């Protein structure tokens, strides 16, 4: 803890307060739902780009 200094302790305190508020206010359920939807969308986009690369490559694999 001595290596953090004053600025590091303030940052750690702000992060802990923020996490406490998120857990206390029930925002975490919304964040989990949003993150799941975002991961699904990213997975679909990556899959489409992968298929495009496979079909557009000259070697065929």
Residue numbers of the domain that contains 24 = 5-56
pLDDT of amino acid 39: 93
Q: Is the pTM of this model over 0.85?
A: no
- Let me know if residue 17 belongs to a domain: yes
SS3 category, 51: helix
- Let me know if residue 37 belongs to a domain: yes
- Let me know if residue 34 belongs to a domain: yes
Torsional sign, CA 7, 8, 9, 12: positive
- Let me know if residue 31 belongs to a domain: yes
- Let me know if residue 52 belongs to a domain: yes
- Let me know if residue 29 belongs to a domain: yes
- Let me know if residue 61 belongs to a domain: no
Domains: count for the chain:
1
CA atoms of 61 and 54, how far apart (whole Å): 6
Instruction: Check residues 60 and 12 and name the one with the higher pLDDT.
Output: 12
9-44 pLDDT, tens digit per residue, is 888 899 999 888 877 887 778 888 899 999 999 999
């Amino acid at each position: 803890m001595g290596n953090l200094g004053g600025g590091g302790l303030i940052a750690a305190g702000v992060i802990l307060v923020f996490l406490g508020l998120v857990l206390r206010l029930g925002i975490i359920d919304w964040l989990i739902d949003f993150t799941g939807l975002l991961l699904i969308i990213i997975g679909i986009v990556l899959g489409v780009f992968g298929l495009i690369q496979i079909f557009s490559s000259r070697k065929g694999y």
